[in-house]
Amino acid sequence: MKITSLTKRLIQCLAALALVVSGALWAADGVDLNQSPEVSGTPEGSVRMPKQQERMALNYVNQPPLIPHSVDGYQVSKNTNRCLQCHGVEHYRTTGAPRISPTHFMDAEGNVLSNVAPRRYFCLQCHVPQTDAAPIVENTFTPSKGFGN
């Protein structure tokens, strides 16, 4: 069966519609997609992000390290990346921040690049601020043997 460009476009539109509907259902379920993780008050259910804390243990092999500080107000866009001002190869020695991993300079084919690879540039897609907040959804996750607390 030959798939025409009209069929491809219809499939793309249906996929986009499914994403919109699932987002609307998620928001209707009481999840605020615009809520900042840093809350200044202490009402029940709020999360207080510490300004700086010790690094937490990882829970599994190759887990992206958690961020031990607030990232409120950090800008990460195609033109600027606030994270690299401390963690970049030019700055980590003077800031004392951990250096960005060499794996972040490799493209999808394994070629080493002179700058951070585009697929690794948006830090907050993998690295998240750490907190000791209760899980939103109960689960039975336990760290791999030798990891975690």
CA distance 83 to 44: 31
Superfamily covering domain 49-149? Flavocytochrome C3; Chain A (1.10.1130.10)
| Helices marked H in 71-114 | 84-87, 92-95
Domains of the chain: which residue ranges? 1-31, 49-149
CA distance 92 to 100: 8
pLDDT given at position 49 = 54
Q: Is 86 annotated as a binding residue?
A: yes
- Model confidence pLDDT, tens digit, residues 89-123: 999 999 988 999 999 999 999 999 999 999 999 99
Q: Is 13 annotated as a binding residue?
A: no
Q: Is 83 annotated as a binding residue?
A: yes
- Model confidence pLDDT, tens digit, residues 23-78: 655 554 444 444 444 444 444 445 555 555 677 778 888 889 888 888 888 888 88
Q: Is 91 annotated as a binding residue?
A: no
Handedness of CA 34, 35, 36, 41 (dihedral sign): positive
What is the phi/psi pair of residue 7, to 5°?
A: -65, -45
